[in-house]
Structure 1
């Protein structure tokens, strides 16, 4: 489903990775590991099309993602290091605005249901700046239930989550893979409890 072909990426005169190739198929989870500075986030941004590699290309279903970016982004859900929430807006308004940005139509009942799934019942109208770091992360994760997407690319998705939140996310990732979806993720949280077809891809720090 997704293929990286001979990617090279440099930052500040340092090569993060060179000649990197990987592929991920439907019904598979790819776990990217590596020390800080190895280029995990840079690789994820290239795989989403947010950044350009110095050399190489990314293909989705055999086609370069730049050639049909709109269709690719419809099939993609990306969660980066930052939550992408507006501190001035409530959880409900953040999700409503996010859906409009991504041209996804969902009834308000679906938004309330997503917030309920992540344990935010009762704080839907509270400005995000008053929520804990874990609750703010849950607002962002609620989008998983609102945008139909075959491919999930998640950068440290367990950050700031408590044990219950981690269990919920692991279960959700496992179900997505079992239903034929794709998950590419980085995490300091061991993924041994995420059942299903998954592989580990290690990045090394290049001096």
Structure 2
């Protein structure tokens, strides 16, 4: 995944995205991708809503609230992230998936700290993204039982 994202150099071979060499046109890949890492990457002093506003400042209040409701955090919109559980913090980060228009998603251990409802919501959103022609590269220790084979699963 690090090579695909451009964080490390390829030692051999090439990597293309939309027919273009990513090593020469990395900006094209960056404009089309969303990366969610193993850690949530949120600011603890900000509320769930404020964290999403930082990520997507042009999103409407309605879109932000919808994203939080999709990850079962609507009631915690104004709660500082520092007061939330690990699973709730993870869901703040995952709410970005309801706000993005990026075609290519890189998800590093997206199911970490999620309960059954959180996993179901994430799998549903991933399925919707794939149905719309998007692509997902994922690392996970959990089997992907309900997703299309269009998902590229990397051994974690």
TM-score by length of 1: 0.69
User: Structure 2: how far apart are the matches of 1:126 and 1:203?
Assistant: 35
1:95 aligns to 2:47 (yes or no): no
Cα offset for 1:152?
A: 0.9
User: Structure 1: how far apart are the matches of 2:98 and 2:84?
Assistant: 21
Q: Deviations over 1:89-137 (max 9, x none)?
A: 111111111225xxxx321221111011111012111111110011000
Matched residue of 2:102: which SS? Answer: coil
Q: Which runs of 5+ in 2 are unaligned?
A: none
Cα offset for 1:177?
A: 1.3
Q: Which residue of 1 aligns with 2:29?
A: 72
Matched residue of 2:76: which SS? Answer: coil
Q: Which runs of 5+ in 1 are unaligned?
A: 1-43
Q: Which residue of 2 aligns with 1:197?
A: 149
Matched residue of 1:193: which SS? Answer: coil
| 2:10 equivalent among 30, 33, 53 | 53
Q: Deviations over 1:65-105 (max 9, x none)?
A: 243333322210111111110111111111111225xxxx3
Does 1 or 2 have the higher relative contact order (CA < 8 Å, sep 6+)? 1
1:144 aligns to 2:97 (yes or no): yes
User: Structure 2: how far apart are the matches of 1:188 and 1:178?
Assistant: 24
How well do the aligned residues superpose, as a CA RMSD in angstroms?
Answer: 2.0
Higher strand share: 1
Number of corresponding residues:
156
Q: Which residue of 2 aligns with 1:130?
A: 83
Matched residue of 1:152: which SS? Answer: strand
Larger radius of gyration: 1
User: Structure 2: how far apart are the matches of 1:121 and 1:73?
Assistant: 30
TM-score by length of 2: 0.89
User: Structure 2: how far apart are the matches of 1:200 and 1:150?
Assistant: 14
Mapping 1:155-170, distance limit 5 Å? 155-170=108-123
